[in-house]
Amino acid sequence: MAETARRFHRAVVTGGAGFLGSHLCERLLAEGTEVVCLDNFLTGEPDNVGHLISDGRFRMVPCDVSEFIHVPGKADLVLHFASPASPTDYLKYPIDTLRVGSLGTLHALGLAAEKGARFILASTSEVYGDPLRHPQSEDYWGNVNPVGPRGVYDEAKRFSEALTMAYRHSRGLDTGIVRIFNSYGPRMRPHDGRAIPTFIMQALAGDPLTIAGDGSQTRSVCHVSDTVSGILALAASAEPGPVNIGSPQELSVLDLATRIVELTGSSSPLAFTERPVDDPTTRCPDITLARTRLGWEPKVDRDEGLRDTIAWFAERTEQQMTAAAA
């Protein structure tokens, strides 16, 4: 277990209007922490935090952290979650992805140093690339193609990890690095290119589910509520990381698609498409560190989490159809 646990009075969340960031803001508020949410809405959505605006402890600040960060007042936690995170997004915004991983991280670290705050970096399982070790533990250095199409995201996160450790070792900043594996849940963007929202939207519409390659590549999916619990467990600890946060229950993309068809009651067929360049063959975390140092492991059953996510997408789709018909 972690040696220390602490509560935070005021947190800054960069990328706070994104999928993961918005859930972090929500949980922090529920735990009694004031939240300053910074987002430039490149891939985040104001609606993700719209329900928090009326809370006097929440402040939304439109801000591009690659340019400048200014947060008046005290803060004892900085969570740096600003970045395009899906292949569709970082292939569309390659320079922005590299900027937020480098300059954005530099600015967020500077803010944490100014405030004397704990700093948590949202890194990713993508730093392992197409791994040659399975499952992936934190001491594995990865198999990344720096000049491939996914390199803009992979290398941005690898650089941000190095920068975070440089601040820790040279300036004594209290830092932690979380390597997040495939998370899913409500507030994912329906067309961001990731497997779960894509499969759900296709199944709800009765369209073919498009599976890259033969679908034998594996992923380990973790419900967002579990991911957030792991992130905040790291924040409340003294651990520097990196620490993997994700589900060790691996499944193939084909099995994931088939299960979503079953859970939606859809009659959608499966369609197979060309597999993207550098698409990882396997992806599964070793969470020994998270279990032993943080006392964390995922609790949400996969089917339960998928049902929750499907219900959210179905309701959102119905609302949009109703609004369009009005």
236: closest CA among 22, 21, 73, 31? Answer: 31
Angle at 229 between CA 223 and CA 232, to 5 degrees: 140
Would you state the torsion angle of the CA atoms of residues 200, 192, 68, 14, taken in this order, to the nearest 10 degrees? 20
- In single-letter form, the type of residue at position 262 comes to E
Would strands 10-14 and 77-80 be described as parallel, antiparallel, or unpaired? parallel
Would you state the torsion angle of the CA atoms of residues 126, 129, 131, 134, taken in this order, to the nearest 10 degrees? 0
The Cα 53–Cα 51 span in angstroms is 6
Contact (CB, 8 A) for 27 and 232: yes
- In single-letter form, the type of residue at position 75 comes to A
For residues 127-142, one letter each, b for 16 or more C-beta atoms within 10 angstroms of the residue's C-beta and e for the rest, the string is: bbbbbeeebbebebeb
Where in the sequence numbering do the catalytic residues fall?
153
The Cα 139–Cα 126 span in angstroms is 14
Q: Maximum Cα–Cα distance for the chain, whole Å?
A: 59
Helices first, then strands: H and E counts in the chain: 10, 13
The Cα 141–Cα 138 span in angstroms is 8
